[in-house]
Amino acid sequence: DAKTTQPPSMDCAEGRAANLPCNHSTISGNEYVYWYRQIHSQGPQYIIHGLKNNETNEMASLIITEDRKSSTLILPHATLRDTAVYYCIVRSRNSGNTPLVFGKGTRLSVIA
Amino acid sequence: DAGVIQSPRHEVTEMGQEVTLRCKPISGHNSLFWYRQTMMRGLELLIYFNNNVPIDDSGMPEDRFSAKMPNASFSTLKIQPSEPRDSAVYFCASSPQAHTDTQYFGPGTRLTVL
């Protein structure tokens, strides 16, 4: 799986959009970008994934650059409950049921 | 659906004692993963099973650790004897059939070995 690089921490004002970047310059053609988050004292939680098109669900939006070397997770209206560590993971969808490899992620602090 | 269930949620034991962590995956899921999280090493895989069969246990620290999955609805992670450096949060996760995108994590077991 390709390696990812994320900033260690970010702050965001409550109600504003939180934009979390991820670099994955060595991503290959069959690899997807996945985002998970871990709220304090809880297990990681799946957020969203994408291949090359922008994706949106009830939790977030994922913007992947045209060259696919980076992406941004967007929480459109961050709340205090969005304070968590966010992990960007690149892996092949053909990985099947294989383990996730977590980096250090970005610690997002949403501030009132 | 109750999600992945882990027990106990907290465990405090003394060095040298046997510790057994338990996991009930989501019904119908055929893969189960055990992860460990520490401040120093972050989240790391210990072992995982597909269809109750261990696939990769290379993350298991040493012979003191063992894991079993006797059936599709139950798995155990055992540490014998436990040591202070085993103190961590242990997560169990499950996922459904192959070519899926999501792993569902349990709430974790916080283990403290004194």
Question: Is B99 a residue whose pLDDT tops 60?
Answer: no
Residue of B nearest to A47 (CA): B102
pLDDT band of residue B98 (cuts 50, 70, 90) is low
Nearest neighbour of B98 by CB, restricted to A38, A97, A99: A97
Interface of B with A in 67-106 (CB under 8 A): 91, 93, 95, 97-106
Contact A18, A78 (CB under 8 A): yes
Q: Which pLDDT does position A29 carry in this prediction? A: 87
Q: What is the pLDDT of residues B34-83, one digit of tens each?
A: 999 999 999 999 999 999 999 999 999 889 999 999 999 999 999 999 99
Q: Which pLDDT does position B1 carry in this prediction? A: 65
Question: Is A93 a residue whose pLDDT tops 80?
Answer: no
Q: State the nearest Cα–Cα gap between B107 and chain A, in angstroms.
A: 5
Residue of B nearest to A98 (CA): B48
Q: Whole-angstrom Cα distance, residue B95 to residue B105?
A: 9
Extract the runs of DSSP E, i.e. beta strands, from A1-112.
Answer: 9-13, 18-23, 31-38, 45-50, 55-56, 61-64, 70-75, 84-92, 106-111
Q: Which helix (H) or strand (E) holds A43?
A: none
Q: Which pLDDT does position B82 carry in this prediction? A: 96
